[in-house]
Structure 1
Amino acid sequence: MIATTRRLGASFFNRPVLMLFIAMLSWGGNTIAGRLAIGEVSPFVLVFLRWLIVSILMTSLLYPRIRAEWPTMRPRLGVMMLMALFGFVAFNMLFYIAAYTTTAINLGILQGAMPILVLVGTVLVFRARVLPLQILGILATMVGVALVATHGDLSALGSLSINPGDGIMFLACIFYAGYTLALRNRPRVSGLVFFSVLSIFAAICSVPALAYEMASGGALWPTPDGWLIVLFVSLFPSCLAQIFFMRAVELIGPGRAGVFINLVPIFSALLAVAILSEPFHLHHGAALVLVLGGIWLSERRSALA
């Protein structure tokens, strides 16, 4: 029985598509959690608690392995701290702040821009070759994001009357795209150990923001419903999704893995309509088509390169 379980586990962790599908569904659920958290737990408290819970859980399970692989990670601890700061802490704090002034549908669709941001970063950092279809895909995705940010009124770009929450969410996406690119050169240790140490750093890096929120009187500790939200985001978007995404990047690279983020806006939109009863407008549909179409065009490189 134990041997069978181990074989099934090994088989699962070698299926990047399945892991990415579950990760994107979890992140789609995170957009709903971000909206539900309003009035139940404040943003910086939520981020601190989620990473505190994850770090305690992972460290308790993997401490011997963390200790054994620590010498390999030691030379890269500074880089790992930055990855945790931008990919785990800054992204999530901005995400939950944005949830106060924009919808779950918008949060999800804007996350669909991340694959293009990863592609642009791959070109700038790793000097990857860009094909004409990829450029067309980038432009299509940018228009889709602009539609969401201006609520279907592109003329708002001229007057800069863009929902602040959408702008904050886009900045969060830039941070996570940088984290995704950095995964390409992470220390050669097991994914679980690497994630465990990042979660510890994320909990530490979230303390200053938590202190600021408490000092300013804006801290809201979880209500009973808030604790359910904290546990959900700790176990699924924070823990399982991050582990699955990291493993998928290890198997197929950041560019291909990043493309699967296009599933987040789809899951977010469906969950927002079903759970939050948010209205789905025509510009949302147009933005989804443009974002997903742009990503599809950018991926044609696999067939043409």
Structure 2
Amino acid sequence: MFMWAGNAIAGQVAVGEISPMLLTALRWVGVGVLIFIFARRRIVNEWPALRTRLPLLLALGALGFSTFNALFYIAAHSTVAINIGIINGALPVFVMLGTYIFYRTQVTGAQLIGVVVTLIGIAVVAARGDIALISDVRFNPGDVLMTFACLLYAAYTVALRERPAASGLAIFSIMTVGALATSIPLAIIEILMGDMIWPSPTGWAVALYVAIFPSLLSQLFFLRSVELIGPNRAGLFINLVPIITAAFGVILLNEDFHGYHVAALFLVLSGIWLAERKYIPLK
């Protein structure tokens, strides 16, 4: 969770040091190289199972990895790390909504209340805590992009239920190919539009960090945690991301921490807590 929270900080540090699409492409190029070195035998051994869901895995990598991260880094240009972290905290609720819509997973009364409370928390961030603006919320462009990115990643998470019977490392490796295949054209478009920023030393450091930590190690650690304690318990730890991100934003980036951030954090985390309760079933 610390690595994922650090991704929001990396997105802020990257502004002006490396362009968003180039950062996304370099991120997945780096992961691809590491995967080729350490996982190619696993892919060969599990290829029969992987082949049965190859289009799905490539699509999940393209949408859940490269497109999500591209939107994530673009959002970082017009919002702050604290807001990114708080909006990211709504992910578990979006996943719950997706499983209900597509798989008719039971939704309890507490979960429904949790969804409403979480969305109110996002609105508080968007309105910058100004109650007068709540009824006429005008989202910061970065907040809108981040919310859309979270919805996209939630769809990716829900679709993982259709993954093949293969190891997490092998599945992640194939999805990395999809992410890489998508991120390179995005970088080319950025170059053709004249928006590319060649990495400074800081930009290269950010690219190296996001390739090794948020992209590779955090994903592998999370997959391992799912194997050890199950997806439900492991998923609870995602809720730590907005808290850690807010702390990183204040400590590392000297961002201002306002009262509305406290209120939004409380609302989002309270909503998530309610959404994960198993009682008060709807009748």
Q: Which band: TM-score by shorter chain?
A: over 0.9
**Matching of residue 33 in structure 1 with residue 10 in structure 2:** yes
Deviation at 1:239, TM superposition (A): 0.4
Deviation at 1:221, TM superposition (A): 2.0
Aligned counterpart in structure 2 of residue 119 of structure 1, from 96, 100, 105? 96
Deviation at 1:249, TM superposition (A): 4.2
Unaligned runs of 5+ in 2: none
The C-alpha deviation readout for 1:136-158, integer Å capped at 9, x for no partner, is 11111010011111211354354
Q: For 2:46, what is the secondary structure of its paired residue?
A: helix
**Matching of residue 70 in structure 1 with residue 47 in structure 2:** yes
The C-alpha deviation readout for 1:174-227, integer Å capped at 9, x for no partner, is 011111112222111111111112112211111111110000111112111111
Q: For 1:206, what is the secondary structure of its paired residue?
A: helix
Paired position in structure 1 for 2:206: 229
TM-score w.r.t. length of structure 2: 0.94
Query: Is this contact kept in 2: 1:86–1:175, CA < 8 A?
Result: yes
Question: Structure 2: which amino acid aligns with 1:269?
Answer: A
Provide the alpha-carbon RMSD of the alignment: 1.7
Aligned counterpart in structure 2 of residue 283 of structure 1, from 260, 267, 273? 260
Deviation at 1:292, TM superposition (A): 0.6
Aligned mates of 2:188, 2:124 — CA distance in 1 = 36
**Percent pairwise identity:** 48
The C-alpha deviation readout for 1:151-170, integer Å capped at 9, x for no partner, is 11354354452211100000
Paired position in structure 2 for 1:197: 174
> Number of aligned pairs?
281
Query: Is this contact kept in 1: 2:124–2:134, CA < 8 A?
Result: no
Deviation at 1:254, TM superposition (A): 5.0
Aligned counterpart in structure 2 of residue 267 of structure 1, from 226, 244, 265? 244
Greater than 6 Å deviation, 4+ residue runs: none
**Matching of residue 216 in structure 1 with residue 193 in structure 2:** yes
Q: For 1:128, what is the secondary structure of its paired residue?
A: coil
Paired position in structure 1 for 2:147: 170
**Matching of residue 144 in structure 1 with residue 90 in structure 2:** no
Unaligned runs of 5+ in 1: 1-23
Aligned mates of 2:6, 2:97 — CA distance in 1 = 27
TM-score w.r.t. length of structure 1: 0.88
**Matching of residue 61 in structure 1 with residue 38 in structure 2:** yes
Aligned mates of 1:174, 1:244 — CA distance in 2 = 23
**Pairing of 1:79-94 with structure 2 (within 5 A):** 79-94=56-71
Q: For 1:161, what is the secondary structure of its paired residue?
A: coil
Aligned mates of 1:179, 1:249 — CA distance in 2 = 16
Paired position in structure 2 for 1:184: 161
**Cα 1:120/1:254, change in 2 over 3 Å:** farther
Aligned mates of 2:64, 2:231 — CA distance in 1 = 14
Aligned mates of 1:272, 1:76 — CA distance in 2 = 39
Paired position in structure 1 for 2:130: 153
